[in-house]
Chain A
Amino acid sequence: MKKDIHNQKLVKEANRTMLQQSTRRHFLKEGAMGFGALALGSMLGGCFGNSSSSSANLFDATNPLAPRPPMFPGKAKSVIYLHMAGAPSQLEIFSYKPELSKLDGQDCPPSLLAGKKFAFIQGVPKMLGPQANFRRHGESGIWLSDNLPHLSTVIDDIAMLNAVTTDQFNHAPGQLLMHTGSARLGRPSIGSWVTYGMGSENKNLPGFVVLTSGGNDPDAGKSAWGSGFLPSVYQGVQCRGEGDPVLFIKDPKGMDRDIRKASIDAINKVNQEQYQEYNDPEILSRISQYEMAYKMQISVPGVMDINDEPAYIHEMYGTKPGEACFANNVLLARKLVEKGVRFVQLFDWGWDNHGDSAFNAVDIGLVNKCRKVDKPITALILDLKQRGLLDETLIVWGSEFGRTPMQENREGKKMAFKGRDHHAGAFSMWMAGGGIKGGTSYGESDEIGYNIVSGKTEAFDIQATILNQLGFDHEKLTYESQGRPFRLTDVSGKVITDIIA
C-alpha cells in the first residue's frame, strides 16, 4: 500500500517535469528543424560515411559496463595506476646524476635559465647535488637510490622510463595532462576510456575505482578521474579509506533491503517511461547505475574490507587497518583487481619537495614519503606474482612532473630546507607487470637530469602504451563528441615498444 502511494507520487512528479520540459521550443525544434535535420543527415551520411579508421561509439546504454573484448588480445586485463601527487624529485629516487654533485652549491649557469619559466625559482639559483646515495640493483643493474630499499629487490620486474617530459609545470594541469591527455578540464580520464572500451569483468562492482591517501586529494580534483564527454557511468568511483568505503552504502535506519529494492524498482520504472519519451541514453545509464548501486551495497563492503586479509599479507604490505593510508589503498587495489575491477587509480598526496618545510624537504620529507610507499608497492608486485596475476595486471608508477637540479630559492632567498622547484623537462616513471619487459630502462636525461637526451616519453606515449597493453590501438579507441571523434592521446602518442615483453 505504502509502496503504491510512493510509486504514484514519483510518477506524478515525473509527469510534471516532463510537461515543463515540453515547450513551444520543442515543438518548433522537433517540427521544422527535426525534419530538416533528418533529411540533411541522411543525405550527408551518404557522402561522408564514417571512416573505418576509428571505432564507432562503443556505448551500450542498457548495459554500459558489460565486459567487452579489446581490439586485439592484450596482455593486461587491469591496471593499477599509482600517482604520487606533488611530483617527487627524480634526482633523489631514480635519476643517478654524479655530475650534479660536483656542481653542488655553485650558481646555476645562465644557459639553463634562458627562456625558462619556473613556478618559484627567481634570479640565479644554486645547483643542488643529489641528496641520496645510489646503487645498481638486480641483474639489470638499474640505478636506484637508498630511499627505496624494498623496491630495489624487485627491480628486475620493472621497466624504468627515465626521459619522461611534459609541458606543464603546475600540479593541476600536469595531473590532468597525465590522466586525461589535456591540461585543460573536460576530457575523460584514462580509467574512463578503459572502462568505456572494456567494461567491467564483475557486474557487481564498478569498473573504475579511485583511492586517495596522504591527507588531500590531488590538485586536479575529481577531474583527474572524470568521464568528460564520455557517458558519466564511466567516471571513477572514489572510495574512502576509512569509515564506509562509499557514503550511504548501508541501508538507512528503518529501511530494509526489500523496501530499498522496491523503491529502486519504482524509480527505474519511472526512468524507463522517461526514456521512452526522450530516448536519452543517459537515462538508461542512470537505470543501470541504480541497479549497480543496489548490488554494490552487498559487494563493496566485502571487497573494501582489508580486515579479513591474513596476517602475513598485512605484514607484507605494512597495512594499518582502520587508518587511511597508502599501504591500505595498495592492498585494496590488489583485492579490487582480483575481483575483476579494470582500473584502480591511486593518488598519494604530499610529494611536493619544495624545501619550504621539513615535510617538503628532499632529504627529510621525501625520505619519509618513500618509506611509506616502498614496502606496499614492493609487496603489491610480489603478491600479484604469487597469485598468478602480475602478467595480467599493469602497474604504473608516476607523477605529473619532476624537479629541478637547482635548489629552490623562493622569493630569491635561501630556504630553510633543501628542496627543488617544479620541473617539466625530465623526470622518471616506471611500469611493471601486464606484459611489460622487466629489468629494462628506456630513455636518458642529460648528466644533471635537466633535459632529455634520448627516448623522449610524453604523457601520450604512456597512455598509448597502457592502452596497448590492454589490447587497444590508442588511435582507434574513439568517441564522437561535438561533431568529431576524440581519443585519449588526441593527435600524439607512440607505444613504447622497447619496454614491451
Chain B
Amino acid sequence: MATLLMIDFVQLIGRLHPLLVHLPIGILLFAALLRLFLKQAKLDSINNAITIALFWGTIGAIGSVITGYLLSQSGEYDESLISSHQWFGISVAFFSAVGYYLQKNHHAHTKIFMVLLVVLIFITGHLGGSLTHGSDYLTEVALSATKEKVDTRKAIPNIEEAILYTDIIKPILQANCYDCHGPNKQKAKLRLDLPDYILKGSKDGTIIDPKHVEECAFIKRLFLPLDNKDHMPPKEKPQLSKQDLDLLKWWVSSGADFSQKIKEINQPVNIKPVLLALKTGTKVEKVETTFIPSTSVSAADPAVLKEIQSNGIAVFPVSQSTNYLSVNFLAVDTFSSKSLSILTPISKQLIWLKLSNTPIADQDIKIIAELSSLTRLSLDRTSISDAGLAFLKNSSSLEYLNLVGTKVTINGLKQLTGLKNLKQIYLFQSGISADQWKELKNIFPNAYLDSGGYKVPTIKGDTTEKKTAIE
C-alpha cells in the first residue's frame, strides 16, 4: 500500500514537468535577451535583475530536470528521444548555473554562454515538443497543403488479393493510434505499429482475443461511449468512422492474423459494402434519404421568418446543425398565392416544402420554381396539373416529389426528365394509367416510382371469430 502511494506520488510530481518547464524557458530567455541586446549604459542599471533572473531560471531548470526524470520513468515515451531531451535539459540547467556564476562575477565571456544557453533551450524545447505532440507535429502543418488527413485512402483495386492487416488495418492504426501508441510514445506501454508489439499488449496484458471480440480491451475500448474515460481514441482526438470500427472488429474476430488475404477470410454482410468502397476508393455510399444538401448555407433573415410565421406557416430548420429550412402549410387557414411569394427571400435556405391539401393553383408553381434549393416538395391532394409541373423543369435539386391525388399525367412528368436528382416520385391516384408505368420507369430509371393502390384483401379470418381451439 505504502509503495503504491509512493509510486503515485512520484508520478504526480513527474506530471508537473510540462507545467514547470515553461518557467525556466521564459525566465532564461528573458535574461539572455536583456544581456545580449541592451546597450551598456542601460545594462548597468539592471545587471542585478539579470543575475536574479538567471538564479531563478537555474532553479527552475533544475526542478524541470528532476520532474522530467520522474516523468520519463512512466515508460510511455520513445527512449532515444527521451534520452536526448534529458541530456539537453541537463545541459540547460548546467549552463544556466554557469551563466549565473559568470554574470554574478561580471565575467567577460557571459555573452557567449548566453548564446549557447539560448541554442540549448531551443533544442531541448523542440525535443520535448516532439515527445508530447509527435515528431511530425511541425512538418505535418508544413505539408498539410499536399496531404488531406481524412478518408483519402488509396483505392485497392485488387481487394480480394490484398492482405487485411497490411493494406487495411495498418493504415487505420497508423492514422488514428500511432501518435500515442507508436514509435515515439507508448501510452500504457502499448505499441501498435508492429505485429509483435500488438500481440504483446499493454501494461495490463494482451489486448486482443478473437474468441471474445467484444470483451478484449482493443475492441471494447473503441466501442465504449465517447464520454467513458476508457474510450479510445480519447474524446478530444479525431474519432474512427463506423466503417473503420467495423473493419477492426472484423479483423479481430477473424483471428487477428497479420498475413491473411481478404479472400481467405469469411466476409460478413456488414463488411461487404465497406470492402467494395475500399476497392473503388470512395467513401461508403450511405443511402441518403435525409434530403439535405452537403454544402452549407447562411442563416435566413429572422425578420423574414417572423413574417412567414405570422401568416400561420410553420417554418423551422431541418436540424440544429444546419440553416436549411423546412416549411409546411398544415395549419394555414387562408391560402393565397401571396403566402407563397413571402417564401422567395428564403429560397436559398428552403429545402423541404409541404403544400399538401392546399388550394394551390398551377400558376403558383411559378413561384415555387424560384425556390431553387428545394429537395422535397409535397403537392399531394392539390389541383396541380401538367401545366403546373412544367414550371419545375429546372428545379434540379428536387429529390422527392409527392404528386399523390393530383391530375398530372405522363406528359407532365416527361417535362421533368432533366431532373437527374429525382429519387422518389409518388403518383398514387394521379393521372397515370396502368399501362404507362413501364414507360415512366424508362423515363426515370434511377427513381423510385410509387403507383400506390395497394390492397389488403379481406379474408375469412378478418370478419370471423374463432370460438374453439379446433377450427
Contacts and interface: CB of A to CB of B under 8 A. Distances in A.
A388 B378 contact: yes
Given A386-B426, A387-B426, A203 B331 contact: yes
A475 B292 CA distance: 24
A137 interface: no
B207 interface: no
A69 B316 contact: yes
B4 interface: no
Interface residues of B, number: 46
A231 interface: no
A371 B461 CA distance: 6
A382 to B, nearest CB: 4
Nearest to B316: A67
Contacts of A368: 465-466
Contact of A71 (B292, B320, B455): B320
B290 interface: yes
A385 interface: yes
Given A388-B402, A435-B289, A340 B328 contact: yes
B351 to A, nearest CB: 10
A475 B404 CA distance: 38
Interface string A202-231: 111100000000000000000000000000
B320 A382 contact: no
Interface stretch (B167-175, B341-349, B446-454): B446-454
B450 A204 contact: no
Contact of A386 (B316, B378, B452, B465): B452
Nearest to A376: B456
A75 B424 CA distance: 15
B218 interface: no
Interface string B45-57: 0000000000000
Interface residues of A, number: 53
A383 interface: yes
- A-side binding surface: helix, strand, loop or mixed? loop
A100 interface: no
Contacts of B227: 53, 475
B383 to A, nearest CB: 18
A375 B464 CA distance: 13
B331 to A, nearest CB: 5
B305 to A, nearest CB: 12
Interface string B386-424: 000000000000001010100000000000000000001
Nearest to A371: B461
Interface string A308-326: 0000000111100000000
Contacts of A364: 466-469
Interface string B311-347: 0101011111110000010110000000000000000
A375 B321 contact: no
The residue among A299, A364, A388, A501 with the most chain B CB atoms within 10 A of its own CB is A388
B398 to A, nearest CB: 13
Contacts, number: 123
Contacts of B242: 497
A68 interface: yes
A361 B465 CA distance: 13
Contacts of B467: 358, 364
Contacts of A338: 356
A16 B458 CA distance: 63
Given A75-B289, A386-B450, A69 B456 contact: no
B435 interface: no
A446 B227 CA distance: 34
Nearest to A63: B309
A150 B462 CA distance: 10
B380 interface: yes
Contacts of A153: 456
B459 interface: yes
B287 interface: yes
A395 B190 CA distance: 47
B461 A149 contact: yes
Nearest to A440: B269
Interface string A424-458: 00000000000100000000000000000000000
Nearest to B292: A73
Interface string B352-364: 0000100000000
The residue among A68, A73, A204, A378 with the most chain B CB atoms within 10 A of its own CB is A73
A201 interface: yes
Interface of B: 225, 227, 242, 270, 287, 289-290, 292, 312, 314, 316-322, 328, 330-331, 356, 378, 380, 400, 402, 404, 424, 426, 428, 450-456, 458-459, 461-462, 464-469
Across the A-B interface, the 5 shortest Cβ-Cβ residue pairs: A386-B452, A388-B426, A382-B454, A69-B317, A386-B428
20 contacts: A69-B316, A69-B318, A70-B319, A72-B320, A74-B290, A201-B330, A202-B314, A203-B331, A299-B331, A316-B455, A318-B456, A340-B328, A371-B465, A375-B456, A378-B456, A386-B428, A386-B452, A387-B380, A388-B378, A388-B426
Interface of A: 53, 66-75, 149-150, 153, 201-205, 299, 315-318, 338-340, 358, 361, 363-364, 367-368, 371, 374-375, 378-379, 382-383, 385-388, 391, 417-418, 435, 471, 475, 497-498, 501
